[in-house]
Amino acid sequence: MTGGTDGGGAGRRAARVVVADDQTVVREGIVMLLGLLPGIEVVGAAADGLEAVRLVAEKAPDVVLMDLRMPRCDGVEATRRIRAEHPATQVVVLTTYGDDGSLFPALQAGARGYLTKDAGGEEIVRAVEHVMSGQAGLSPKVQLRLLERLSAEGDPRPAAGPVAPGELPDGLTAREAEVLALVAEGMTNAEIARRLHVSTATVKTHINNLFAKTGVRDRAQAVRYAFRYGIARPPGAPIT
């Protein structure tokens, strides 16, 4: 099965992807789209969750683009099995549904990305690249919904409270705090780079540094950290 050419530069191989969707026309359309995208190689297509698990065992892909509502074995259960049995393979959900009842079970099962089917090719490539590099591959709409949910639930641990003016927690530099605030706004690395007039490599360095200092593992945790310490405001929070 063919895929896109490597658009990531010399020495960077294409991401090996399996597509799982029970609707033939949708599945074939996604495979066709991915075949036109740089840096993507489609190595298999599955009509249900059981076939997706089998293909992962056989092909060892980097990423599975996983539909949720499929016969025999749905996307949540397939994601759970893949993450338990093949932890080197990441899962990005690609579904029609963006409701809480679909989103949170998929993330709890181990999906590192979540897109709705109105996502464009560039957004899919970005999500694949993000999950392969250890980041979350969430669409802006899904990220906002996740942040709203986390904000509504609050943090179960005692709140640390905003830091005093002029102080930053855990040894963060002013630039790292600025990058963290932009992450909390839902910006991608490329968008942050444009805002700050720096390279994406510089943004990644700042993010890696602030992750190491704060002990967070992904962007969702980083956002909660930013809210907890007053580096960013939760959606809907009053301006004081």
Alpha-carbon distance 192 to 104, whole Å? 27
pLDDT in tens, 5-29: 444 444 568 899 999 999 999 999 9
In tens, the pLDDT along 165-199 reads 457 888 888 888 899 989 888 888 888 999 888 88
Rounded to an integer, the average pLDDT of 40-48 is 95
How does pLDDT run across 94-133, given as a tens digit for each residue? 988 767 677 888 888 888 888 888 888 888 988 898 888 8
Q: Is 160 left (phi over 0), alpha (psi -120 to 50) or beta?
A: alpha
Place 146 in a pLDDT band, splitting at 50, 70 and 90: low
Q: Are 146 and 153 in contact (CB under 8 A)?
A: no
Spatial distance between the Cα atoms of 85 and 67, rounded to a whole number of angstroms: 19
pTM beyond 0.75 = no
Q: Give the percent of the chain with pLDDT over 90.
A: 32
